[in-house]
Amino acid sequence: MKLLESLAAGVRIYDLAQPLKVGMPSSPNHPGFRMALIRRHGDMVREDGSSAANELIVTGGHVGTHVDALAHVSYRGELHGAISAYEAQKGGSFTRLGIDTMEPLVCRGVLLDVAALKGCTVLPGGYAITAQDLQAAAQQAGVAIQSGDVVLVRSGWARYFDDPGRFLGHESGVPGPDEEAARWLAQHGIRATGSDTTAYEHIPPGMGHRLLPVHRLLLVERGIHIIEMLNLEALAADHIREFLFVLAPLKIVGATGSPVRPLAVVEQ
């Protein structure tokens, strides 16, 4: 009833997804996004004068704003919960920990704006976001991380999304949480965490995605989902730090990830 009352009073919805389009930045570890109209208006016209158009979409599961399944990363041959990665992936899709096993998220969301904490619009390429940074950002925002939260970390890197080379940041490096920061979040019992970069990692200049220790820590060791390529700019500009967070992955059986359109909902 309280939820209905809040909705009746009016809410504002922040769309946290980047647009899916041809030419968008994509991790070199994953196939990119492609879309083409395979049927155009006028190709076939019905007796009443109407026609229809449709498209073919080809994409990886980790393209654009997306969430990682726990099956996405293994360590020494094992997935989260000491599940054999070899056994789980038999048959061409995951029988354990695929994205279809992830429950939708409807929970408290918290934004930790590390760029604002450091007094800049965008963190420098290759900047390692530490546990101290996250703790200070939480204190600055006046929020406490609680068990079951989804924590979103803003670096400002989304401002480069329309410049794929700069956004991928192979030469410059990309800002992101280091292992200590990921461990600090995990200790708070969070359900998921996300950021506005291609990979939820501290990427030093020239390193690319050769090593992804935060993915191993969160997905394999702690069973915490990762959300990447978020657009957190509007949320940050309006100084929203706490919100209702809503996310539902596509129910792709046995997949390691899914494109998503996360929403932050706040009262007017």
Sign, CA torsion 139/143/144/147: negative
Residue 176's DSSP bridge partners are 128
Summary mean pLDDT of the chain: 95
Q: Let me know how long the chain is.
A: 268
In a domain, 52, yes or no: no
In a domain, 121, yes or no: yes
Please state, as a whole number, how many other Cβ atoms lie within 10 Å of the Cβ of residue 82.
8
CA–CA gap between residue 203 and residue 191 (Å, rounded): 24
Q: Cβ distance 245 to 264 under 8 Å?
A: yes
- pLDDT higher than threshold 90 for residue 115: yes
Reported pTM: 0.94
At 210, is the pLDDT very low, low, confident or very high (cuts 50, 70, 90)?
confident
CATH number at residue 112: 3.50.30.50
Q: How many domains does the chain have?
A: 1
In a domain, 38, yes or no: no
Residue 129's DSSP bridge partners are 177
Using one digit for the tens of pLDDT, what is the confidence trace for 131-166?
999 999 999 999 999 999 999 999 999 999 999 999
- pLDDT higher than threshold 60 for residue 107: yes
- Worst-scoring range by mean pLDDT, 7-11, 57-61, 221-225? 7-11
State residue 40's pLDDT score.
Answer: 97
State residue 236's pLDDT score.
Answer: 98
- Residues of the domain holding 204: 10-19+61-267
DSSP label at residue 76: T
CA–CA gap between residue 251 and residue 232 (Å, rounded): 25
- pLDDT higher than threshold 90 for residue 206: no
- pLDDT higher than threshold 70 for residue 124: yes
In a domain, 146, yes or no: yes
In a domain, 53, yes or no: no
In a domain, 3, yes or no: no
Tokens (6 digits) for 129: 């976001």
In a domain, 230, yes or no: yes
In a domain, 39, yes or no: no
Q: Which contiguous run of DSSP H or E holds residue 150? A: strand 150-154
Task: Give the residue from 98, 92, 23 showing the smallest Cα distance to 64.
Answer: 23
Task: Give the residue from 58, 60, 61 showing the smallest Cα distance to 35.
Answer: 58
